[in-house]
Structure 1
């Protein structure tokens, strides 16, 4: 592992946004969204460990406490953060993910119309967020997306001739998504947070500050160990060595999921609880690919976008 980099909280900005309740009857509420926003905001602004401990106002949570947000307010907040951040710009979304008629991912808000033909007029298009990140002057940009088919954020960056790809390659960029471009994200019954964000928070609970690459590995092991879809990542220009906490960094220790190999690294591993698998049958949304449907039908968790009353392939997590 290379040298760990801790951004300066005063020169960094974070925008966390999401919506738990929706006006459309076709978008069921996701109570875990508010818990996600509240807990992650607290973790990043923790007085003793958080990156924004000295400047908590630099970490903005939108949509928490039932306060409605729309695409205009989110766009304004993102633009302000992009102009102000010179060290780190972090953007996090949690809620329903929706696909338009071309399969492009949109991030749903309270007044979003889920119709694939019109969703782009009332939701936040993930390509717009990526474009803004690409134009930001921050030394590093981090995007974390917790919704179904969130891996499409990576697909938008993967096009060889994409202007977004060229912009994001200019400096360190890290994208972490809760699942692949064709699979679902889950909000297990009885758990306060969604499965992905819950694992992310547990990664940030350990006694040592994990880098983004170590956080990804921790979350991957946590989710796949519970038979849930794996997260995805894309790192550019050593952004994986960035740490989001001010806690001590582990020296010479491997990730919690790695074998000791006789090094005694286990003593330095973060000790965090993992919820026991939920019981009951999974409720799923009609996915884009039949194999994914057959696989996640058996998962012991509940898809957070149930029930879905439309007979389309649009994602609602």
Structure 2
């Protein structure tokens, strides 16, 4: 097992008009279980319905404060766009207007800045939210491996009666049931084929050097 750490965040309860997203909580539970062969459970932090950005940034900052083989950040929830068309990760009290999005949510730039400074050998960000491809426009994302559920303009998909969102559900199925070992390059190729075949938004990936070879399932 690598010296790895992960911060998994899911927002499922909303108070300002955004649709409820129960699947985000199930995503955290299932992804946590799927990653235990790579990340020691003591190094994984699952944060559900954080009411402030600091409740996410504080554990991420602690995980990023010392060297590691892998530092992974994952978010499931609604993605919002601010006045400058930058991605914001919704929190329970987020307001979905360009004027209020950044003030009431977690700007993805804040996450990426911490990830960028981390002395981890590999730094991976996985975003399961609408407009998640916008994260690739952030200057702080330049040296990070990014895997996103959609491009810059598409909404992420989920079905009200399903346990997981479409993107994370397919990711978990691959990590649990797929033939191992599974690296990030294989994850992306599988997700791209599987989601596109169902008429769902295509995921996006951006690699850094050999980051596609990072193993998520031995």
Aligned to 2:42: 57
User: Gaps (5+ residues) in structure 1?
Assistant: 1-6, 157-161, 247-317
Aligned to 1:191: 162
Tell me if the contact between 2:73 and 2:125 (Cα under 8 Å) persists in the aligned partners.
yes
The two structures, once aligned, show a CA RMSD in angstroms of 1.5
What is the aligned counterpart of 2:113 among 107, 119, 131?
A: 131
Q: CA deviation at 1:141?
A: 0.2
Aligned to 2:152: 181
1:146-295 correspondence to structure 2 within 5 Å = 146-156=128-138, 162=139, 164=140, 168=143, 173-205=144-176, 206-246=178-218
User: Match of 1:214, SS?
Assistant: helix
TM-score, reference length from structure 2: 0.94
Question: Which one has the bigger helix percentage?
Answer: 2
What is the aligned counterpart of 2:6 among 5, 14, 17?
A: 14
Question: Which one has the bigger strand percentage?
Answer: 2
> Compared with structure 1, are the counterparts of its residues 198 and 153 closer, same or farther at alpha carbon in structure 2 (3 Å cutoff)?
same
Tell me if the contact between 2:50 and 2:56 (Cα under 8 Å) persists in the aligned partners.
no
What is the aligned counterpart of 1:107 among 83, 89, 92?
A: 89
Number of paired residues?
Answer: 217
User: Match of 1:83, SS?
Assistant: coil
Give the number of the structure whose alpha-carbon radius of gyration is greater: 1
Q: Which runs of 4+ in 1 moved over 3 A?
A: none
Once the two structures are superposed, residues 114-134 of structure 1 have per-residue CA deviations (whole angstroms, 9 ceiling, x without a partner) of 232122222111112111111
User: Match of 1:131, SS?
Assistant: helix
What is the aligned counterpart of 1:140 among 88, 105, 122?
A: 122
Question: 1:165 & 1:17 partners in 2: Cα distance?
Answer: 18
Aligned to 1:303: none
TM-score, reference length from structure 1: 0.66
Aligned to 1:42: 33
> Compared with structure 1, are the counterparts of its residues 165 and 33 closer, same or farther at alpha carbon in structure 2 (3 Å cutoff)?
closer
Once the two structures are superposed, residues 237-273 of structure 1 have per-residue CA deviations (whole angstroms, 9 ceiling, x without a partner) of 1000010123xxxxxxxxxxxxxxxxxxxxxxxxxxx
Aligned to 1:82: 64
Tell me if the contact between 1:176 and 1:234 (Cα under 8 Å) persists in the aligned partners.
yes
Q: CA deviation at 1:139?
A: 0.2
